[in-house]
Amino acid sequence: MGGMSLPAHAPDPAPAAPALVLGTVQLGLPYGIANRSGQPDEAMAGAILAEAAALGITQWDTARAYGEAEARIGKARAALPAAARARLEILTKLSPLSDLPADAGPAAVGAAVSASVEASRAALGQDRLDTLLLHRAAHLDSHGGAVWMACRALRSTGIVGRLGGSVQSPAEALRALAEPALTHIQLPLNLLDGRWAAAGVPEALAARPDCRVHVRSALLQGLIGGLDPALYARVFGADGPAVRLFVKEAVARFGRASPADLALAYVRALPFVHGIVVGAETLDQLRANRAAFAAPPLAPEARAALEAERPAVPAATLDPAQWSRP
């Protein structure tokens, strides 16, 4: 395809019902504060991926930094029937480029970006990456913008399809949405998190109908769904009992099947969300997640009530990177 310039993505349809997107970090690394089973072995990871395809989950989210995840996805993808492979979209993230010096020049940056993309293509068994996200939103501007320029250059060759970014905060989301070439954004959001609305992110998203939105952390690494008092004490401290009570009362008030169902139903009710990234360490978890998406989302008035009544939670508590480790 040479240096052919590709057209911008057309706006994605308004998401009447957000899709379940399979998160795969658990398949490549031991992950999650509420994870009791650890990283699945290769056979179980393959079974989870095959079952996801059979359940019609056609978007799988992964990253170069997720340990064995890309390789396991590549192996599972190769075993799928051709029709199932054709329906599958794999979204991966650029290496965090942790070893790239801050003063690296454009040639070194370009080489590092290309190396990450080539490693992902090889592991996934794909000539073309369907969607490539920046793992760090800071790479939009770091190295004089050379990382983002290298990603855009790869897109112009056809090696990469859609470009996007994974963000951690409302400020990063607003910066990403100011970049016209970025047409996919992944952000962490859950029923306890009011930062995004307060910062005007929904309005910024409405101004970018060409940008697809995936939400992660809807279950806050399983914390919201599990309501484990010990984990709540670690993460929420003295406010843990109040948060647990809020969730438990909301489950009963709105007739939801479980805290996890409530948490997913809330994010599924947000009008700007196209997909929700949820991982699984077991087949039972995967099937339960899929079943939750068959239930109706929260009604608008229920969503508004949750937003008005949720307890105030510090930003550091809503960011798993800042949680204390065992």
| pLDDT at position 239 over 90 | no
What does residue 236 show for φ and ψ, rounded to 5 degrees? -95, -10
Share of the chain above pLDDT 90, in %: 77
Indicate the pLDDT class of residue 13, thresholds 50, 70 and 90: low
Confidence band of 15 (pLDDT split at 50, 70, 90): low
* Angle of CA points 30, 281, 172, to nearest 5°: 65
**Cα 66 from chain centre:** 13
Instruction: Assess whether pLDDT exceeds 50 at residue 265.
Output: yes
Taking phi first (over 0 means left), then psi (-120 to 50 degrees means alpha), and beta for anything else, what does residue 233 get? alpha
Residue-wise pLDDT tens digits, 35-68: 455 678 999 999 999 999 999 999 999 999 999 9
More confident residue, 163 or 221: 163
* pLDDT confidence band for 7 (50 / 70 / 90): very low
Which pLDDT does position 10 carry in this prediction?
Answer: 57
Predicted TM-score of the model (pTM)? 0.91
Helices 42-54 and 283-292, packing angle to 10 deg = 20
Biggest alpha carbon–alpha carbon distance for the chain: 59
Amino acid 309: pLDDT: 95
More confident residue, 16 or 168: 168
Distances (CA, A) of 67 to 64, 74, 220: 7, 13, 21
What is the spatial distance between Cα 47 and Cα 113, in angstroms, rounded to a whole number?
A: 31
Question: What is the fold, at CATH topology level, of the domain defined by 19-320?
Answer: TIM Barrel (3.20.20)
Look at the alpha carbons of 85, 91, 97, 98 in this order and tell me if their dihedral is positive or negative: negative
Determine the average pLDDT of the residues in 221-240. Answer: 82
Report, as an integer, the average pLDDT of 200-223: 94
Beta-carbon contacts of 101 under 8 Å, excluding residues fewer than 6 positions away, are 108
pLDDT band at 12 (very low <50, low <70, confident <90, very high): low
Question: What integer best gives the mean pLDDT of the chain?
Answer: 90
- Of 194 and 14, more confident: 194
Residue 256 vs residues 207, 219, 289: alpha-carbon distances, Å: 33, 15, 14
| Domain range summary for the chain, segments of one domain joined by + | 19-320
pLDDT of residue 121: 98
Four-CA torsion 242, 245, 246, 247, nearest 10 degrees: 130
Please write down the HEC assignment for all residues of the chain. Answer: CCCCCCCCCCCCCCCCCCEEEEECHHHHCCCCCCCCCCCCCHHHHHHHHHHHHHCCCCEEECCCCCCCHHHHHHHHHHHCCHHHHHHCEEEEECCCCCCCCCCCCHHHHHHHHHHHHHHHHHHHCCCCEEEEEECCHHHHCHHHHHHHHHHHHHHHHCCEEEEEEECCCHHHHHHHHCCCCCCEEEEECCCCCCHHHHCCHHHHHHCCCCCEEEEECCCCCCHHHHCCHHHHHHHHHHHHHHHHHHHHHHHHHCCCCCHHHHHHHHHHCCCCCCEEEEECCCHHHHHHHHHHCCCCCCCHHHHHHHHHHCCCCCCCCCCHHHCCCC
Q: What's the whole-number mean pLDDT along residues 233-255?
A: 90
Average pLDDT of span 176-199: 96
